[in-house]
Copies of this chain bind each other. A is one copy, B any other.
Amino acid sequence: MNKTEPKTLSGFMELYPNEQVLFNSMKSIIESTYKSYGYFPLDTPVIEYSEVLLAKAGGETEKQIYRFEKGDNDLSLRFDLTVPLAKYVAKRQNELVFPFKRYQIGKVFRGERPQKGRFREFYQCDIDVIGDTELSLKYDSEIISIINDIFTKLNIGKFVIRINNRKILSGFFESLGLSDKVTDILRIVDKLEKIGEEEVKKELSNLGVNEKSQNSIISFMNIGGSAFEKLDVLKNYCNNETFLSGVSELESVLEDLVLRRIPSTNYDVDLSIARGLDYYTGSVFETKLIDYPNIGSVCSGGRYDNLAEYYTDAHLPGVGISIGLTRLFYQLVESNIIKVENASSSDIMIIPMCEDYKYIYEVNNMLLSYGINTNICYLEKGFKQKMRYADRMKNKYIVIIGEDEVNKKTIVLKNMIDGNQLELNINELESIKNMIGD
């Protein structure tokens, strides 16, 4: 028979089993944290009408989208989870209960030029809360609290959630008489960290911003101190109304973070953050891993006034964030922050050294009932080969059952790392749960 080469498309992540275990455990931490704050799961189709997905988009999105015809329909694969959310809420605005809190974790597709660390199919993990006409500022701090919980649980090192408010930026540029250039200036300022002060000044100059204003902008961006010290400076920095309204929002968010007991080392005010997207109108967030500055923002988002203006006249403000998990996982592995070698598919491997499967299954069923994931080695081979299987499967603990154990109603629990082993009575199996939790 002619064989087809079993190849995978480039730019599409396909992991080894042990890598996938770690990827899924990160996904699971994100999902359980999203759920813990009372957000509904949402699952929208991968395929939508092209006109629906492209109602707002243009430029890069149109070029990158996977678009095709099937029957009479012009179809596309979703390129993010925000547009499907907007569609979903607009479609069901009379039936949903607002504020509508939802998370969605799923694959999105962008036919980008393939390059190292860029994927054409990747997971986004989004969480948003949408209000009907109005939405409490407490949700801004709730979203920050969720980011804080996730990156604490992920245990991938120190992180800082950098917070800004778009009204502060807009108001400040208004006060410089640069209102007509706000969007362009924000785009340039957003690159401050990436391209540096001189380059930003040059681009501002090209935009027609005079040198005095350039310097005002730079020194504004360089306001230093702790989050609350920056806030104090801002309170007397500028009399513009939009500016002061942004400062007041920022103050309210920061005060809430203190009440929520979020460690002050985990967040900061960063006036250079604007976020490229046009639709943010209030709080904006980025999250950085402190010890790995080369890894960009690992979690970004903010507040917007109109989620679904392309589908409905209803005023639907919201606040949310997105974690690009595929890229994040790739970067964590590349930077050696997480190690994939020791991921196993089970907590315990059971190695039968006799044929009494009635007893072996009894032990297995008890372990399962205690929530311990097991893998029985059914290989009809010698002890050495069975041990080699356990070793290759990266099991840290194995349970050995031979005729002696059957007769005594015991098992032998062996730690594969240090070689220590102990005998446990069948009534003591629950204690394994604590041991494997190390």
Most chain B CB inside 10 Å of its own CB: which residue of A88, A149, A345, A365? A345
Contact with B along A349-380 (1 / 0, CB 8 A): 10000000110011001001001011110111
Tell me, in angstroms, the Cα distance from A308 to B36 when the chains sit together. 42
**Residue of B whose beta carbon sits closest to that of A352:** B138
Interface size, A (range): 35 or more
Q: Pick the residue among B7, B14, B70, B71 that contacts A49 (CB under 8 A).
A: B7
14 A-B residue pairs with Cβ-Cβ distance under 8 Å, sorted by A, are A4-B311, A6-B52, A7-B49, A7-B87, A8-B44, A17-B42, A21-B40, A21-B41, A38-B373, A40-B345, A70-B111, A136-B378, A149-B368, A256-B357
Min CB–CB distance A241 → chain B (angstroms):
23
Interchain CB contact under 8 A, A20 and B6: no
A48 near B378: Cβ-Cβ < 8 Å: no
Contacts of A136 in B (CB 8 A): 378-380
Contact B91 A38 (CB under 8 A): no
For residues 53 through 85 of chain A, which have their beta carbon under 8 Å from a beta carbon of chain B? 55, 66-71, 73, 75, 77
Contacts of A39 in B (CB 8 A): 345
Residue A17 contacts which of B21, B40, B357 (CB distance < 8 angstroms)? B40
A3 to B14, CA, bound (A): 39
Contact residues of A between 287 and 339, Cβ < 8 Å to B? 308-313
- Beyond A3-B311, A38-B346, A368-B36, whether A46 also contacts B9 by CB under 8 A is no
Residue of B with least CB distance to A394: B97
* A75 in contact with B9 (CB, 8 Å): yes
Q: CB < 8 Å: which of B101, B139, B379 contacts A345?
A: B101
Given A6-B312, A358-B259 in contact, is the A20-B38 Cβ separation under 8 Å? Answer: no
A51 within 8 A of B: yes
Q: Which residues of B contact A120 (CB under 8 A)?
A: 47
Interface residues of A in 73-116 (CB under 8 A from B): 73, 75, 77, 86-88, 90-92, 95-97, 99-102, 107, 109, 111
In A379-417, the 8 Å CB interface with B consists of 379-380, 389, 392-393
Measured CA separation A138–B13 after assembly (Å): 33
Quick one: which of B1, B23, B75, B96 contacts A43, CB cutoff 8 A? Answer: B23
Say whether, besides A1-B309, A310-B3, A261 and B38 are in contact (CB < 8 Å): no
Residues on B with C-beta less than 8 A from A357 are 138, 256, 259
Q: Are A142 and B311 in contact (CB under 8 A)?
A: no
State A210–B304 Cα separation when bound (angstroms).
Answer: 74
> Do residues B373 and A36 form an inter-chain contact, with CB atoms below 8 A?
yes
